[in-house]
């Protein structure tokens, strides 16, 4: 079983911590894990040692201390984009470092993987790119497929599908960098028409990276430029009055189940990157203090959001519940939710009667079931 982690995104460190938690809790009597790291430069490696830091803050601080240098050692790895018995080709470089003519030649070894758990967060991993490669290689993998992963990463496209399915969302609009360069005044006017406060977000990123809360008009331009430094598309959302942050986990393929709901109490004004991973003041309450009817509605909407993007395997759906009005809106869906020691997905399922090792086991079985179903499909018209 391969556990792919790291990646070329601002959520690299979160992914490392998620992988460490999965590797620690994996049942070694059922699975033989193979850690596969995607370095920040995009290079795939089989590291000499698996990640062990279970808290994202440990990984983040360690990365800063090391000036973001990759771990030494390990072999390069390549996943061929075609079916075969060798899921990965590992390359041990020769003495010359190139294997291309002088010194000891490189040694290439094939490695077969029965299933892959991509625990990648953000672009180039959670957005359908790695899922597409796994589809080409015909390897079973945990989590939603190419389309659901891509839609789940793009907050603007996600909201279009939510609205089409009749799910409640906060007022919003999106634009791309070219719109900002050519029609800045129009973008600003349309944004401010949503009312203050506003949330300005990169459309394709997670872990609250690049997100700003805008409470005054003169703060909007720098917030947009900050978001555009992470993504070519930006989404702007109207704030929810006195919001509570409610989360619900979904598990399954064709007949998904929803967990109990949890509530996040951020240490800061909203649940930004620091509040999630660095501050110690943020709290989670599981189960959330909700009346039974409201909990049932959260669970229903979570499953509807899961189906709206045609997800499978797993997702976490995030909601905003207004204390002022009682209105509940679907904020977003996360197709590869965090698996760190503080992550809600595992905590929600544990509170719903599914402990961490059983959760990982279920996810792998769901991946194998979905893959087996695909193998029965015709690939030829003749």
pLDDT tens sequence across 342-370: 789 999 999 999 999 899 999 999 999 99
Residue 171's CB: how many other CB atoms inside 10 A?
13
Question: Could you tell me how far CA 196 lies from the centroid of its own chain?
Answer: 28
Q: Of 47-56, 73-82, 295-304, where does mean pLDDT reach its minimum?
A: 47-56
pTM of this structure: 0.88
DSSP per-residue string spanning 37-94: EE-TTS-EEE-SS-----SHHHHHHHHHHTTTPPPS--EEEE--SS--S-SEEEEE--
* Sequence-distant (≥ 6) Cβ neighbours of residue 57 within 8 angstroms: 277, 278
The overall average pLDDT reported for the chain is 89
pLDDT higher at 277 or 194:
194
- Quote the pLDDT of residue 50: 86
Q: Is 13 helix (H, G, I), strand (E, B) or coil?
A: helix
Q: What angle do CA 328, 333, 334 make, to 5 degrees?
A: 140
What percent helix, strand, coil does the chain show, rounded to 5? 35, 25, 45
Q: Is residue 326 predicted with pLDDT exceeding 50?
A: yes
Confidence of residue 57 (pLDDT cuts 50, 70, 90): low
321-346 mean pLDDT: 92
The predicted model gives 295-311 an average pLDDT of 98
Q: Give the pLDDT confidence score for residue 43 in this predicted structure.
A: 94
C-alpha–C-alpha distance, residues 281 and 271, integer Å: 11
Structure tokens, 160: 């279009």
- The mean-pLDDT minimum among 150-164, 183-197, 274-288 falls in 274-288
In this prediction, residue 203 carries a pLDDT of 93
pLDDT surpasses 70 at 93: no
Q: Which domains does the chain have, with CATH numbers?
A: 2-141 (3.40.50.20), 171-238 (3.30.1490.20), 241-374 (3.30.470.20)
Sign of CA dihedral 218, 221, 222, 226: positive
Q: Which of 63-72, 284-293, 337-346 has the highest mean pLDDT?
A: 284-293
Question: Considering the chain, what percentage of its residues have pLDDT values greater than 90?
Answer: 72
Strands 198-202 and 88-92: unpaired
Place of tokens 């079931």: 369
pLDDT in tens, 105-147: 678 888 999 999 999 998 899 999 999 999 999 999 999 999 9
- Residue 94: the pLDDT is 61
Contacts of 187 (CB under 8 A, 6+ apart): 175, 179, 180, 224
State mean pLDDT over 314-323.
Answer: 97
Residue 279 in this model has a pLDDT that exceeds 70: no
Q: Which helix (DSSP H) or strand (DSSP E) does residue 36 occupy?
A: strand 34-38
Give the pLDDT band (50/70/90) at residue 221.
very high
The mean per-residue pLDDT over the stretch 292-303 comes to: 98
The backbone region for 122, taken as left when phi is positive above 0, alpha when psi lies in -120 to 50, beta otherwise, is left
Worst-scoring range by mean pLDDT, 70-84, 147-161, 253-267, 311-325?
70-84
Contacts for 152 with CB less than 8 Å, ≥ 6 apart: 126, 144, 158, 309, 311, 315, 333, 334, 335
The answer to which of 23-32, 260-269, 310-319 has the lowest mean pLDDT is 260-269
Of 306, 307, 325, give the one whose Cα is nearest residue 316. 306
pLDDT at 66: 46
pLDDT over 80 at 341, yes or no: no
| Band of pLDDT at residue 70, cut at 50, 70 and 90 | very low
């Amino acid at each position: 079983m391969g556990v792919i982690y790291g990646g070329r995104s601002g959520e690299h460190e979160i992914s490392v911590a998620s992988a460490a938690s999965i590797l620690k809790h994996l049942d070694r009597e059922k699975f033989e894990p193979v850690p596969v790291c995607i370095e920040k430069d995009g290079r795939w490696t089989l590291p000499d040692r698996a990640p062990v830091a279970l808290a994202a803050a440990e990984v983040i601080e360690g990365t800063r201390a090391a000036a973001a240098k990759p771990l030494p050692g390990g072999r390069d790895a390549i996943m061929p984009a075609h079916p075969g018995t060798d899921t990965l080709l590992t390359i041990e470089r020769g003495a010359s470092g190139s294997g291309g003519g002088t010194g000891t030649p490189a040694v290439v070894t094939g490695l077969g993987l029965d299933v892959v758990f991509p625990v990648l967060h953000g672009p180039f991993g959670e957005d359908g790119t790695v899922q597409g490669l796994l589809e080409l290689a015909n390897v079973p993998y945990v989590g939603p497929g190419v389309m659901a992963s891509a839609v789940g990463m793009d907050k603007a496209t996600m909201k279009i599908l939510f609205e089409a399915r009749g799910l409640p969302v906060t007022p919003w609009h999106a634009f791309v960098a070219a719109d900002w360069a050519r029609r800045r005044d129009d973008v600003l006017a349309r944004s401010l028409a949503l009312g203050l406060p506003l949330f300005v977000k990169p459309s394709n990123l997670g872990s609250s990276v690049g997100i700003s809360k805008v409470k005054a008009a003169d703060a909007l331009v720098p917030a947009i430029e900050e978001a555009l430094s992470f993504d070519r598309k930006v989404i702007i959302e109207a704030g929810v009055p006195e919001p509570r942050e409610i989360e619900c986990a979904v598990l399954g393929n064709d007949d998904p189940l929803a967990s109990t709901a949890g509530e996040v109490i951020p240490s800061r004004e909203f649940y930004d990157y620091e509040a999630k991973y660095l501050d110690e003041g943020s709290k989670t309450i599981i189960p959330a203090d909700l009346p039974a009817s409201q909990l049932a509605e959260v669970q229903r909407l979570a499953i509807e959001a899961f189906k709206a993007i045609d997800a499978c395997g797993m997702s976490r759906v995030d909601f905003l519940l207004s204390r002022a009005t009682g209105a509940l809106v679907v904020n977003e869906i996360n197709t590869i939710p965090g698996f760190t020691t503080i992550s809600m997905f595992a905590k929600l399922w544990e509170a719903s009667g599914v402990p961490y090792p059983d959760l990982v086991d279920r996810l792998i079985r769901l991946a194998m079931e979905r893959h087996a179903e695909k193998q029965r499909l015709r690939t030829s018209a003749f």
